[in-house]
Amino acid sequence: MADDARERGRNKRAELWGEAALTRLADIEKFDEGFAKILNDTCFGEVWGRPGLPTKVRSMITMAVLTALGRWPQLKGHMQAALHVGVTEQEVKEVLIHVSQYAGVPVTVESIKVFNEVTQKK
**Where do the domains of the chain lie?**
1-52, 54-122
Residue 68: partners with Cβ closer than 8 Å, 6 or more residues away: 99, 102, 103, 107
The confidence score (pLDDT) of residue 1 equals 58
- List, for residues 28-80, the tens digit of each pLDDT value: 999 999 999 999 999 999 999 999 999 999 999 999 999 999 999 999 999 99
- List, for residues 11-22, the tens digit of each pLDDT value: 999 999 998 887
**pLDDT-based confidence at 8, cuts 50/70/90?**
very high
- The top-level CATH class assigned to 54-122 is mainly alpha
Nearest by Cα to 24 from 9, 5, 8: 9
The confidence score (pLDDT) of residue 25 equals 85
Nearest by Cα to 115 from 86, 72, 85: 72
The confidence score (pLDDT) of residue 50 equals 95
Count Cβ atoms below 10 Å from residue 7 Cβ, excluding itself: 14
